Amino acid sequence: MTADDSSPDDAEPVRLPITGELDLHSFDPREAMDVVDDYLDECRRRGILEVRIVHGRGRGVRRAEVRRLLAGRADVVAFRDAPPVSGGWGATLVELSARVAE
């Protein structure tokens, strides 16, 4: 198979550094919430309980999607806008619990 014959489904998974900060600008909007979900799972597994998700300001669509996802997760203790120096309403700070509530 040549490079021209490959499809996006054939691509290798992207490895993200798990630093507690996730910038969604480079992700396909259709995949962004799966990325957020998986990233938060991995942060919690590694003991990173404070996460900054950069979704951008725009019209607020991605911000609303992120917050709906966060509101539905049992391991999210709290979330809020980042302070102005850290992105303001273009980023969301997330506090995770060490354990999932039952």
Q: pTM for this structure? A: 0.83
- Read off the pLDDT of residues 20-55 as tens digits, 9 standing for 90 and up: 999 999 999 999 999 999 999 999 999 999 999 999
Domain range list for the chain:
25-96
Q: Domain 25-96 classified CATH 3.30.1370.110?
A: yes
Residue 5 pLDDT exceeds 60 = no
Instruction: Assign 16 a pLDDT band (cuts: 50, 70, 90).
Output: confident
At 98 the pLDDT is 87
- Read off the pLDDT of residues 85-102 as tens digits, 9 standing for 90 and up: 999 999 999 999 987 655
* Interacting residues of 52 by C-beta distance below 8 A, sequence separation 6+: 20, 21, 22, 82, 86, 87, 91, 92, 93, 94
